[in-house]
A and B are shown apart, each in its own frame.
Chain A
Amino acid sequence: MNPAIRISIGALAISLATPAFAQIDFSGEWAPAYHEDGPERVPGPEIGDYLGMPLNEAARLQADSYDADRISVVNEYECRPHSADYGMRGLGDLRVTREINPTTQDLIAFHTYMPAWGSVRTIYMDGRPHPPDYAEHTWQGFSTGVWDGNTLIITTTHLKANYLRRNGIASSDKRTLTEYWARHRDYLTVVTHVVDPVMLTEPLVRSQNWTLDPGQKSQRMFCEYQPEVPGAPGAVPNHLPGANPFLHEVADWYGLPYEATRGGANTLYPEYQLTMPKPDKPPPAKCERFCVCTVLQDCNLHGAPPPR
């Protein structure tokens, strides 16, 4: 056979053996960027801030009933980690590694580690099915990924109930998380899409970014829960319906219409501005609260929070 033809056939064979889809490598140490939704993520959301959340009536009442003492009084909450969806919002140093089949060189899975709560995820890329409904749920759920061009689409089920925002907006164990991972050189963007039939009237879509940081040294997470606040055994701090005195604070501090802070799908879109009521209190003349929050440590330096 003509050597040129043989080389061509060989090249063809190699190309056929390579998966037809893209395989972007997300491996590396990624440092989170907090420029997007900063105050919500660090230092964290205010009580009563449901802005941008397509909540249903049930989720809103659950959030209204939330008493922040709960995370101290209910000891089991002290070490409760962020689940896979909220983990992307939190204190998210992120390490990604690949697991490759040494024989076939196929990608079996991506593994992620976040030192905040020591969260470990596996994103299976080998086409395995999700477990049946009766299988255990976990904080990080069960994830599988597929490629759409250079975008990795991850579907996560079997999540434990957790929170959509850590101010009492709960998520249910019936939610499905879809993520879209895209790498642009040293930047990673992850768009999350949460469908929660129990808490939301439409999907909750958020985006987060990281920058590649090869020198990042992730820490180990320790947590051991302890009684922090004396309380009656089995107490679950909660506000009775209509009796939470803190719900108006966020609207008043930032000069927002109270109705808008209550969330709901109708408040998400630009058309809402046409019907949005005026705030009860005007916005402050200059920033007074959490003005610079791109780094966790400086969040309270520019304007101390008003006394409660």
Chain B
Amino acid sequence: MRYPPGDLAIWIFILAELVVFAAFFAAYAFTRMNNVELFNEFQQQLDQRAALINTLALITSSYFVVRAVSAIREDNRRHCVVWLLAALAMGALFLIVKMGEYQHHFIVEGVSLSTNTFYMFYISLTFFHFMHVIMGMVILAAVVVMAAKGKYSAAEHTGVETGASYWHMVDLLWLIIFPLVYVMR
């Protein structure tokens, strides 16, 4: 196989997204160099348990998407739809937990982008990713509708692979955000 699964256009888009996030990650790490105590202090105020739940939710949803792609390759449309719906449920769990975190920081603690440099990075990085999760869920929902209508088969399932590739990218980004923002100090 010479090309990755799915539409090649989504891969160009994925690469562009990955480059933007890589710059973000590097900016976070190098800015931290001059604000180590501040970053360490406020990092400890983040909800580690929520971050763990969110990481498990995204990894699990990615696994469900892999199973959905396998199902459609075996021409099992019903299983494909079921796995995709399960992946969407995990995505929804991620959003709910993340909104709970934001609610605590924004409303209870009164944090904003201008509170300090750490929160500026925390909010912008995680919210940018949050928007990607929503985008990924919209794409997966569209794939579910098409799959339920019988538009995909073992012979033609580029749409499922395209949506899957985008969703795995969302997972991949969080796999770096989680240790970088919540754990490494």
A binds B: no
